[in-house]
Amino acid sequence: MAELFSLQQIVNGLQLGSIYALIALGYTMVYGIVRLINFAHGDFYMIGAYAAYAAFFLFNAYIAPGNVLVFIVLIVAMLVGAAVAMLSNKFAYKPLRYKPKLSSLVTAIGVSMFIEYFFSAFPPIGPSPRGFPEVLPKVMWTMGSAQVSNYVVIDLVVAAALMTGLTLLVQKSPLGRAMRAVSQDKDAAKLMGINVEGIISFTFLIGGAFAGAAGLLAGLTYPRIMPYMGILPGLKAFIAAVLGGIGNIPGAMLGAYIMGIAETTANAYNSLLGEGIAFVILILVLLVRPTGILGEKTADKI
Amino acid sequence: MLIVKNLKVSFGQIDAIKDVSFEVPEGKIVTLIGANGAGKTTTLRAVSGLDKSSGGSVIFKGKNITNMEAHQLVAMGISHVPEGRKIFPTLTVRENLDIAGWTIKDKTIVKHRIEEVFELLPRIKERINQLGGTLSGGEQQMLAVGRAIVTGGDILLLDEPSMGLAPVLVDEIFDKIVAINKRGTTILLVEQNASEALHIADYAYVLEVGYTTISGPAKEIAADPRVREAYLGV
């Protein structure tokens, strides 16, 4: 039992939590702004992983594995994730914007299945898992009782940088103010001269870029990618967003780290328990505090 | 400045307004009065682009703006203070005002206009760091008007500015409307409080179940026996 709450599990939990946080933010932002649970969001993450994979082989010929290559691959994964998210918004969700919510929800499931099966059927990708390449040589350090690799550092730093940037954007910039305004009242936002559809599209862009980044981090950390890899992390990140309070940005981050640590700790005890803990958390949240930890009626729903 | 001709707006099978026509000359105050459900709010929403019309036309400064997007019309000079004020509740008063300058590239203009708002509506200045949702109804109405001043339209559409306000505040808000008009802003006012509206307006139109029926200079309308009986309660 001693190793259950070891430093190592905390490190692993923070690492997993970082990946969940980046996915959960996309869920929560899109929900905040258009009240849609975008079930295809986990697939944006999968596409990010494949984009990173492709970018590695494209650029590896010119640049040796290392931090520079990681950075380039990260940018590609984020761009591709953002593009796919914006396209799904444009073609699948926008036409249904002022229709009953259920239409968009069912469409989101359709988009998700389309992406997964299309990738499986598309010969250059195919259904079988692929090993993710070593984008940079792994270095291990010992910190107290825990082993920490440079991959852990990359996961934490990338997630922290993106989350800080997002928080500043939403809280301090005029664009963020417009996002909050649109999330509160679309008609009033239009009357301020805000192009509401443009802001929605931008929100999808950020969410998709973050999912793409998470895809690269996941490929680095758990080096096996396949077209269905987005389903479970997507669900878990969604639960993390619900745990923190859906629509609330700090809530999604908090929920994701709680989830990451809970999962690695449960995993250390029994790997089947680790897979199921997320759903236990979901049931508990819905029973005890359905608004989530930070979710309140008055909170900014973005 | 604004010419609305045979405007029609339908929601599904229901025609909210059937045939509405009126004109708002530059620099004047024009009011649309009518009972609940007459189509006053829908008319304003169709002019500002929030609702799409299914017939007729809206001409603004000589341009046909029928069914243009609301956010484009703001940039063209239409400011709309909607029914229920629609303050952003979790943005501060300052953020509410700042965001009203969204379409204005030169932020010194926005700053200058916010100063004007403080001058005209001093109560707003005292509340500057409070969240919009914590203001009282009257203060929210002032803030909504303040936002419209920052937006800086050539025409200001006001939807029921007196709704839910204490009588003393109603007088205050109508005074502010006159003051804004004197600064050179054309005003289209929708009101259930017909006597106050007719008192400050130059022209008036009466809306009945989706049609404009009676129209004329506000003084004549106020003296019209049909209007007096139906809307002024005398």
Residues 6 or more apart whose Cβ sits within 8 Å of residue B45: B9, B51, B80, B82
Tell whether A300 is covered by a domain.
Answer: no
Tell whether A55 is covered by a domain.
Answer: yes
Tell whether A293 is covered by a domain.
Answer: no
Tokens of A22: 């980046």
Contact A194/B at CB under 8 A: yes
pLDDT tens-digit profile of B115-140? 999 998 898 999 999 999 999 988 99
Query: Whole-angstrom Cα distance, residue B204 to residue B196?
Result: 12
If one counts the domains in chain A, the total is 1
- Average pLDDT over every residue of A75-101: 96
- Average pLDDT over every residue of B203-212: 92
Q: Which residues of chain B from 38 to 57 reach within 8 Å of chain A, CB to CB?
A: 48-50
pLDDT tens-digit profile of A53-66? 999 999 998 988 88
Instruction: Please state, as a whole number, how many other Cβ atoms lie within 10 Å of the Cβ of residue B18.
Output: 17
Query: Whole-angstrom Cα distance, residue B51 to residue B45?
Result: 5
Given a cut of 60, is residue A1 above it in pLDDT?
A: no
Given a cut of 60, is residue B98 above it in pLDDT?
A: yes
Tokens of B4: 């609305």
Counted residue by residue, chain B has a size of 234
Name the closest residue on chain A to residue B104, using Cα atoms.
A193
Of chain A, the percentage scoring pLDDT greater than 70 comes to 96
Determine whether the interchain pair B88/A180 forms a contact, defined as Cβ–Cβ distance below 8 Å.
yes
Tell whether A302 is covered by a domain.
Answer: no
Name the closest residue on chain B to residue A172, using Cα atoms.
B95
Domain membership of residue A236 as a residue range: 2-288
- Average pLDDT over every residue of B168-177: 90
Q: What is the CATH number of the domain that holds A103?
A: 1.10.3470
Given a cut of 60, is residue A301 above it in pLDDT?
A: no
Tell whether A204 is covered by a domain.
Answer: yes
Of chain B, the percentage scoring pLDDT greater than 70 comes to 100
**A298 — pLDDT class (breaks 50, 70, 90):** very low
Q: Please report which helix (H) or strand (E) contains residue B8, including its range.
A: strand B2-11
Q: How many CA atoms lie within 13 A of A176 on its CB side?
A: 12
Among A96-105, A164-173, A236-245, the range scoring the smallest mean pLDDT is: A96-105
Tell whether A9 is covered by a domain.
Answer: yes
Residue-level pLDDT at A299 = 45
Given a cut of 70, is residue A300 above it in pLDDT?
A: no
**A181 — pLDDT class (breaks 50, 70, 90):** very high
Tell whether A298 is covered by a domain.
Answer: no
Q: Taking the model in full, what pTM does it have?
A: 0.91
Q: What is the DSSP string of chain A?
A: -GGGG-HHHHHHHHHHHHHHHHHHHHHHHHHHHH----TTHHHHHHHHHHHHHHHHHHHTTTS-SSHHHHHHHHHHHHHHHHHHHHHHIIIIIGGGTTS-HHHHHHHHHHHHHHHHHHHHHSTTT-SS-EEPP-SS---EEEETTEEEEHHHHHHHHHHHHHHHHHHHHHHHSHHHHHHHHHHH-HHHHHHTT--HHHHHHHHHHHHHHHHHHHHHHHHHHS-EE-TTTTHHHHHHHHHHHHHH-TT-HHHHHHHHHHHHHHHHHHHHH-HHHHHHHHHHHHHHHHHH-TT-SS--TTS---
Tell whether A299 is covered by a domain.
Answer: no
**A297 — pLDDT class (breaks 50, 70, 90):** low
Contact A100/B at CB under 8 A: no
Report CA-CA distances (Å) from A80 to A76, A163, A224. Answer: 6, 19, 19
Name the closest residue on chain B to residue A299, using Cα atoms.
B90
Instruction: Please state, as a whole number, how many other Cβ atoms lie within 10 Å of the Cβ of residue B14.
Output: 8
Q: What is the DSSP letter of B213?
A: E
Q: Which residues of chain A from 158 to 177 reach within 8 Å of chain B, CB to CB?
A: 174, 177
Determine whether the interchain pair B48/A191 forms a contact, defined as Cβ–Cβ distance below 8 Å.
yes
Q: How many CA atoms lie within 13 A of B127 on its CB side?
A: 24
Given a cut of 90, is residue A210 above it in pLDDT?
A: yes
The pLDDT mean for chain A works out to 93
- Average pLDDT over every residue of A239-249: 94
Given a cut of 90, is residue A69 above it in pLDDT?
A: yes
Residue-level pLDDT at A213 = 98
Q: Is B91 helix (H, G, I), strand (E, B) or coil?
A: coil
Ordered domains of chain B (ranges, CATH): 2-230 (3.40.50.300)
Tokens of A153: 């550092």
